Each structure stands twice: as structure tokens, then as C-alpha cells.
Amino acid sequence: MPVNPFLDPKLVHGDLYRSSGRLAERTRALREAKIAGRDAADVIVDLVAQRTPPGAVVLDIGCGRGTTTLRISTRLRPRRLIAVDASTALLATVRTRLAEASGTGSTICADFHHLPLPDALADAAVAAFCLYHSPTPAAAVAEIARCLRPGGIAVLATKSLDSYTELDQLVQTADLDPDAACRPSLYESFHSRNLVDIAATHLTVLNVLHEEHVFEFADATHLARYLATTPKYRIRAAGGPTGLAAILRERLPAPPYLTRSTVSYALAARP
């Protein structure tokens, strides 16, 4: 079985998040392709707002480029907002985005299995689209629970095991990666089906939402922009996204190219 790149420490702490550019381009390509599904950051902030009092202390664990961090800052105006990520490059992007939006918040570079934060610090915590980077996501949930005050809430977000699998067949049909269809899901350690069980190891699950997102890549160039940034495949193509697009145009049926993902959210509380 091929190694899952989202669980490979060398990749996670190396090429995937050494800079923010790759993640930004992947996110941009998906956002432009989306034709159905609510904005995930809006859903997360809505869930936090349901159970979090004014003047709260909020943690954004595995904050990435800070899209949810920024939304928390501008909509909830917490008394204290702490964004945590293991990538210094991504945290630099978070600080820039907060400053440009006149938002407030601090950043900490840390592994979410070992948060350098005191017990019972926070009223709310978010861990969005990050726990699938852990081979032991329950251990990260335990750390999040430790940092919450009794009754404090957490919003955990992830994707389904079969997210974007339609692209596997396209990549294989184009002979860009002959093993595309048998590569493991990027989300295999923490996904829509095991979300509740893992959350419940240290938290009380209050509510779960599952929403289908649908994406339509308009042409080969658009699809190539996404495929060039995803670590799932071992694509054999020279010339970057431009060369990849040329191969896709030659070998695939006419566009558009559709794919789907289930996005799942658990709202949970520290007992």
C-alpha cells in the first residue's frame, strides 16, 4: 500500500507546507471550481457562535493560512484569539492576513499533539481540516480538550474518505499516474465516518453536520492547477501546470470535470 502523503512527516513538514504558495493555489483552484456547498469557514464560525459567549478565548488549531482564523477575528471579536500551526511559513501568512484586515490575534508554532498552552485556557477551539495529518488524531483531540475550560466547545472539521475520487479516474485515464485509483485517501486517519468516534474519546459530541460539496473544473487548465498542487498522485508530466494541462486536453474527454467531497463538522464540548 502506498504511503499516505498527509501522514508522512517529511512531506508535511517539508514540501507541503514549507511555504504557503502550494496550499494557497490548491485552495484557490477548489474555490473557483465549487458549484455547491456552503463556505466551510462560515459554517465553523456559526457553530462556534452558537455556544461561545462574548469576550471568549478561542483557539484555532492547525490554522493553516488562517482563513478560519480571520473569520473568527472579524465576526466573533474574541477577547483573545490564538492561532496554532506547525508551519512557520503558514503562520507568517496568518499574521499578514490578520494585519491587513485589522484583526487581532496571536500565533504559536507548535505540534497539535503537544500544545504549549495551559489547562482550561479556552472557551472554544477549532481544528479544521488538519487532524487527518495525525496518525493518532485522538491524541490531538485529548490535547484540545485539555486546553478547554469545562463546558468549553470544540468544532472539528474533516472530509470524507471518497473526497475527489472522481479525479483518480481522470488521472489514471490520462496515464499520469497508473496507480491513482488505488492510492489511499488523504483523509484516511480522520474522516467523516470516524469523526464522531474520535471526538467522543475526550469530548461530548453535541451535533454533527455532513454537507456535500460539488466542484466543476471548467477546462484542462483549471484542472491542471489543482492536480499540480495535490500530493495524492505521483504525476509523470513535465512543464508544470502548463505541460500538465496540455496532456489533459489530449487524453481526456471534453470538459467540464466534476468531483465531490463530503465535508463533516462535529460540535463537541469538554465535560
Would you kindly state where each structural domain of the chain is located, as residue ranges? 5-162+186-213+260-269
Under 8 Å between Cβ of 154 and 268: yes
Q: What is the pLDDT of residue 239?
A: 77
Sheet containing 148-159, strands listed edge to edge, beginning at the edge strand earlier in sequence: 34-36, 204-217, 257-269, 148-159, 122-128, 57-61, 80-85, 106-109
CB burial readout 199-214, b (16+ within 10 A) else e:
beebbebeeeeeeebe
Measured distance CA(115)–CA(270) in Å, rounded: 17
Q: What is the pLDDT of residue 2?
A: 64
Per cent of the chain over pLDDT 70 is 99
Under 8 Å between Cβ of 108 and 136: no
Q: What is the pLDDT of residue 245?
A: 96
Residue ranges, the chain, pLDDT below 70: 1-2
Measured distance CA(93)–CA(66) in Å, rounded: 7
Q: What is the pLDDT of residue 236?
A: 75
Q: Which of 230, 205, 211 is nearest to 160 (CA)?
A: 211
Q: Which CATH superfamily includes the segment(s) 5-162+186-213+260-269?
A: Vaccinia Virus protein VP39 (3.40.50.150)
Measured distance CA(267)–CA(156) in Å, rounded: 7
Residue 216, phi then psi, degrees to nearest 5:
-125, 110
Q: What is the pLDDT of residue 83?
A: 98
pLDDT tens digits, 86-100: 999 999 999 999 999
